[in-house]
C-alpha cells in the first residue's frame, strides 16, 4: 500500500516518509508537500528508491539436476 | 519505504494560519500594524520609543493569545510570512504556543496538509503520537 506519512512534532518540525513506492515515484508523489510547507533540509533515499520499476519479477526458481 | 525528508517550515498561507489560530483559540488580528513585546510594554509612551524599537514592533498582522501579555507579529517577507515574538517568560507566550512557537507551527502545518491533501484526493488519517501529530495520506 502506498502511503505518505507526515510527522509534525510539538516543536513544529516536519518529517515526511513515503512508504510502498518504488523508484522515483515517491519523490514525485510527495513533492507537493514540500512545495506547500517550505524547504527540504534533509533527504535519505532508501533501498526501494533504487528498484527499477520495469524490472521483471522472477516467478520461479531454476532447478539444477 | 522509499525516502525520508525533513522540511524547514515557511508560512505561506494566511488563510491556513488563521485556521490554526482558531483551532488553538488564538485571535488573528488582520492588519494590526504593531505587536506587543517587552520593549513596548514597559509603560513608555509609544511615541517616545526609540526608532529601532518602533521598527522592531512593526508587523502586517498580529495574533493575540488569551492569557498572554505579549503578542505575535506577522511580517510579510517576499513569498512567505515570518512570525516575530518575544519568548521572555513574563510575556506568557511560551506556555501557550510552545518553544519557538512550535504548537502554532504544528497546527498550521496540519491545516495546510489536510486541506491540500483533500483536494488531491488522499484519504487522511490523523492521530496523536508521542511528542506530536501523525498524518497518514493514502491514495
Chain segment B66-83, per-residue pLDDT in tens: 999 999 999 999 999 999
- Chain B residues close to A2, C-beta within 8 Å: 138-139
Per the prediction, chain B carries an average pLDDT of 92
What are the start-end ranges of the H helices in A1-65? Answer: 25-37
Q: Is the pLDDT of residue B43 over 90?
A: no
Query: Quick one: pLDDT at residue B138?
Result: 93
Radius of gyration of chain B measured on its C-alpha atoms? 17
Residues of A in contact with B125 (CB under 8 A): none
In a domain, A59, yes or no: no
For range B107-119, the mean pLDDT:
95
Helix (H) or strand (E) segment spanning residue A19: strand A14-19
Contacts of B137 in chain A (CB under 8 A): 3-6
- Name the band, by pLDDT with cuts 50, 70 and 90, for residue B139: confident
For residue B44, pLDDT over 90 is answered with: no
* Bridge partner list, B34: B58
The residue of chain B with its CA nearest to that of A47 is B2
What percent of chain B clears pLDDT 90, i.e. is strictly above it?
73
CB half-sphere exposure, B96, CA atoms < 13 A: 25
- Chain A residues touching B112 at Cβ < 8 A: 36-37
CB B71 within 8 A of CB B37: yes
Query: So where are chain B's domains?
Result: 14-138
Q: What is the pTM of this model?
A: 0.84
For residue A17, give every residue at least 6 positions away whose Cβ sits within 8 Å of its Cβ, in sequence order, or none. Answer: A4, A5, A6, A7, B1, B3, B4, B5
Q: Please give the average per-residue pLDDT across B27-38, as a whole number.
A: 96
Name residues 44-63 of chain A within 8 A of B (Cβ). 44-46, 48-49
pLDDT at residue number B80 = 94
- Is residue A58 situated within a structural domain? no
For residue A11, the enclosing domain spans 3-50
Q: How many residues does chain A have?
A: 65
Q: In three state form, how does the secondary structure of B16-66 look?
A: HHHHHHHHHCCEEECCCCECCCHHHCCCCCHHHCCHHHHHHCECCEEEECC
- Cβ distance of A26 and B3 shorter than 8 Å: yes
Closest chain A C-alpha to B132 CA, distance in angstroms: 4
Please check whether residue B128 touches A, CB under 8 A. no
CB contact under 8 A, B131 and A10: yes
* Placement of cell 503578542 in the chain: B71
Q: What share of chain B is helix, strand, coil (3-state, %, to 5)?
A: 35, 30, 30
Contact B110, A13 (CB under 8 A): no
Number of domains into which chain A is organized = 1
Q: What's the pLDDT at B39?
A: 87
Residue A40 covered by a domain = yes
- Above 60 in pLDDT, residue A57? no
Interface contact flag, A16 B4, Cβ < 8 Å: yes
Do B98 and B65 form a contact (C-beta atoms < 8 A)?
no
| B chain contacts of residue A33, beta-carbon cutoff 8 Å | 7, 113, 116
Amino acid at each position: 500500500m502506498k502511503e505518505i506519512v507526515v510527522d509534525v512534532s510539538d516543536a513544529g518540525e516536519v518529517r515526511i516518509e513515503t512508504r510502498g513506492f518504488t523508484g522515483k515515484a515517491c519523490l514525485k508523489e510527495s513533492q507537493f508537500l514540500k512545495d506547500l510547507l517550505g524547504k527540504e533540509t534533509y533527504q535519505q533515499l532508501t533501498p526501494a528508491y533504487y528498484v527499477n520499476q520495469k524490472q521483471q519479477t522472477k516467478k520461479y526458481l531454476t532447478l539444477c539436476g | 519505504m522509499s525516502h525520508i525528508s525533513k522540511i524547514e517550515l515557511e508560512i505561506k498561507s494566511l488563510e491556513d494560519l488563521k485556521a490554526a489560530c482558531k483551532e488553538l483559540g488564538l485571535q488573528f488580528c488582520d492588519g494590526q500594524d504593531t505587536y506587543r513585546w517587552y520593549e513596548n510594554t514597559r509603560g513608555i509612551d509609544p511615541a517616545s520609543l526609540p526608532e529601532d524599537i518602533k521598527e522592531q514592533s512593526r508587523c502586517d498582522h498580529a495574533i493575540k493569545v488569551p492569557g498572554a501579555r505579549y503578542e505575535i507579529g506577522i511580517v510579510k517577507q517576499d513569498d512567505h510570512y515570518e512570525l516575530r515574538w518575544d519568548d521572555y517568560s513574563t510575556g506568557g507566550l511560551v506556555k501557550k504556543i510552545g518553544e519557538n512557537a512550535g504548537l502554532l507551527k504544528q497546527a498550521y502545518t496540519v491545516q495546510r496538509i489536510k486541506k491540500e491533501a483533500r483536494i488531491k484526493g488522499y484519504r487522511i488519517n490523523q492521530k496523536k503520537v508521542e511528542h506530536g501529530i501523525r498524518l497518514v495520506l493514502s491514495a
